[in-house]
Copies of this chain bind each other. A is one copy, B any other.
Amino acid sequence: MTNHYSLPISFDLEAYLKQKQDLINTNLKRIFDTVKRRSAGSLDAAMAYSIMAGGKRVRPILCLAAAETVADGDITATAMATACALEMIHTYSLIHDDLPAMDNDDIRRGKPTCHVKFNEATAILAGDALLTLAFDVLSDRVTASDKKKTAPSMENQLKIIHMIASAAGWRGMIEGQVQDMESEGKKLDIDALKALHLLKTGALIQAAVMAGVILGGGNHRQMEMMSAYAHNIGLAFQVTDDILNVEGDPVVMGKAAGTDFSRSKNTYPALLGMTDSKDYANELIEKALAALSGFNYRADPLRAIAHYIITRER
């Protein structure tokens, strides 16, 4: 792979991701400790089990990184509720995707999936509750991260709720999941596969980045650049997922490899071959980085994340 773009050489992504993950985990833990204190049964346990199962927190980190790129000053406290809500929606979608009626996966992030650990009914309801809690947190006028008045403006709050609900629903993630399900065993062409993934994974990644831009007070031109960035990393993320599903180390990934093939799922490697799939992922990341060329060093985390997306091992 030839690098036509300049990567931020001096930027320590590992430390950045770790710091953000810790911050997000602390805030999620605070929210779920409250759920636990006020709830009794298995619902809170199942919700907390799945959300604290060691996800990479890609969507909340993208939201925070986008907010920090465009904001004057520290925006983390204001953006944290949105970041946490994005992770709740992502986690709910994984719980439901793993169900026996859907992908029927037993292992996720190296641990038993929610319906295996608890039971199917509890997993369905824990997913429902995480999705609902996301909107609870998003509409709160006091942010989840602290009790100071750091909530976004009401206008921004409503914009973000609307954008996330749209991206997560029938116009976005859920429609993508349905199309994915219904295309198993049928052969899609590359455009159809791209369209499917722009819905299934792309929409929520796009919403995460754009929510960050809104929270950071980004202008119209910044919105457009970030939108192009998000579009390309969203696709690259899925292409890499497909590559990892074939080549990945199950131990590192925390789930079985080769499952797409055995389910005759439409994937980039199956459609383009492995070499072209990797080239395509690289090309997408180059486009994502080109979209950021109007930003200064403050976009370095986003640049490093773009690179990370295709070099990660899980």
Contact = CB atoms under 8 A, between A and B. Distances in A.
Interface in A107-164: 119-122, 124-125, 127-129, 131-133, 135-136, 138-141, 154-155, 157-158, 161-162
Given A129-B174, A139-B165, A170-B133, A42 B182 contact: yes
A243 interface: no
A102 interface: yes
A26 interface: no
A132 B131 contact: yes
A233 interface: no
Interface centre among A43, A140, A177 (most CB of B within 10 A): A43
Contact of A124 (B39, B101, B141, B154): B101
A181 to B, nearest CB: 6
A152 to B, nearest CB: 11
Interface centre among A119, A132, A154 (most CB of B within 10 A): A132
Interface centre among A99, A124, A170 (most CB of B within 10 A): A170
A4 interface: no
B154 A158 contact: yes
A125 B96 contact: yes
Contacts of A122: 178
B120 A169 contact: no
Nearest to A102: B121
Counted per complex, copies of this chain come to 2
A230 interface: no
Given A99-B124, A129-B170, A136 B165 contact: yes
Interface in A18-46: 35, 38-39, 41-44
A136 B166 contact: yes
B125 A139 contact: no
Interface residues of A, number: 50
B96 A128 contact: yes
A289 to B, nearest CB: 32
A25 B47 CA distance: 35
Nearest to A136: B165
Contacts of A140: 162
Interface string A164-188: 0110111100110111011000000
B154 A139 contact: no
12 contacts: A42-B182, A47-B170, A125-B178, A127-B128, A128-B174, A131-B132, A132-B168, A133-B169, A133-B170, A135-B161, A141-B158, A154-B154
Interface of A: 35, 38-39, 41-44, 47, 92, 96, 99, 101-102, 119-122, 124-125, 127-129, 131-133, 135-136, 138-141, 154-155, 157-158, 161-162, 165-166, 168-171, 174-175, 177-179, 181-182
